[in-house]
């Protein structure tokens, strides 16, 4: 049930990121950054401590202030860039507790790594097929395979962070807060565009079409999460919160 909920959260985030990177012209390679970022964000929220909360607050606050101040001239990348920069500064400046500092960022990096690996596999295989992969199958594979890889590798990342102590913690914290702030800000921009009288772009039109794929993506995410959870239980993996 827990991993099914993880898939439910992962699916719309991945689908939105995939659309953005395809609009940037990455083609099949769009799977790599989309899966990596969605996995990193999901891992940070799954760790759910101060680092993740801080990144979310920065992204929500900055994007909301920009929408209120200059709603007609706020572009996606200006929102993302500003939220990322401010998030990096906050992550560098704030001194988080050791448990938060050493575990949640390490889990986010583990998610980023396994997500990029699974996304890279999809990017290599999709061109060999006559049709593009459907949303349900893509999400079912990503959530299940990526989930198992993440749980299998996260103890190594956590142990690596613990061995290095505080030496690189400020850098990692800044990166994780920046990642979450930028991602949250981009999500709010995509949700707010239809409510603001801005000129239609290829990206905004592409985001409108996501509604057609979202139900099947959610189904695939939940199914993949359930399958991944069963595999983790059968093979006796530790709960991530116990790492």
Q: pLDDT digits over 114-151, tens only?
A: 999 999 999 999 888 777 788 888 888 888 888 888 88
Is pLDDT at 179 greater than 70 in this prediction? Answer: yes
Which carries the bigger pLDDT value, residue 212 or residue 38?
Answer: 38
Amino acid 89: pLDDT: 92
What percentage of the chain carries pLDDT values higher than 90?
A: 10
The residues, any chain, with a CB within 8 Å of residue 19's CB and separated by 6 or more, are 203, 206, 207, 210
Of residues 68 and 203, more confidently modeled: 68
CA distance from start to end of the chain: 20
Worst-scoring range by mean pLDDT, 31-35, 64-68, 109-113, 151-155? 64-68
pLDDT at residue 198 is higher than 60 = no
pLDDT of res. 217: 82
Answering whether pTM is above 0.95, one says: no
Q: Count CB-CB contacts under 10 A for residue 182.
A: 28
66-83: b (≥16 Cβ within 10 Å) or e? bbeeeeeebebeebbebb
Residue carrying the six token digits 């993949």: 224
Averaged pLDDT score across all residues of the chain: 79
**Closest to 140 (Cα-Cα) out of 45, 7, 6:** 7
pLDDT band, very low/low/confident/very high, at 106 (cuts 50, 70, 90): confident
Where are the domains positioned within the chain? 27-134+145-210
Q: Is pLDDT at 194 greater than 90 in this prediction?
A: no
Q: Rounded mean pLDDT of 179-205?
A: 68
């Amino acid at each position: 049930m827990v991993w099914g909920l993880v898939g439910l959260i992962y699916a719309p985030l991945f689908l939105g990121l995939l659309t953005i990177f395809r609009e940037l012209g990455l083609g099949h390679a769009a799977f790599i950054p989309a899966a990596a970022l969605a996995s990193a964000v999901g891992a940070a929220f799954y760790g759910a401590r101060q680092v993740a909360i801080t990144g979310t607050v920065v992204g929500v606050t900055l994007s909301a202030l920009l929408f209120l101040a200059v709603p007609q001239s706020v572009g996606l990348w200006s929102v993302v860039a500003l939220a990322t920069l401010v998030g990096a500064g906050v992550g560098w400046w704030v001194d988080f507790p050791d448990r938060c500092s050493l575990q949640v960022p390490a889990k986010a990096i583990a998610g980023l790594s396994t997500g990029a690996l699974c996304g890279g596999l999809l990017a290599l295989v999709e061109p060999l097929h006559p049709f593009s992969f459907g949303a349900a199958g893509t999400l079912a594979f990503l959530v299940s395979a990526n989930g198992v890889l993440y749980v299998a590798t996260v103890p190594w990342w956590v142990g690596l962070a613990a061995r290095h102590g505080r030496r690189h913690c400020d850098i990692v914290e800044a990166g994780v807060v920046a990642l979450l702030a930028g991602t949250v800000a981009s999500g709010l921009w995509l949700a707010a565009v239809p409510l603001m009288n801005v000129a239609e772009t290829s990206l905004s039109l592409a985001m409108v079409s996501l509604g057609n794929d979202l139900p099947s993506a959610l189904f695939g995410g939940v199914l993949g999460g359930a399958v991944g959870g069963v595999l983790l239980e059968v093979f006796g993996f530790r709960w991530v919160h116990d790492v």
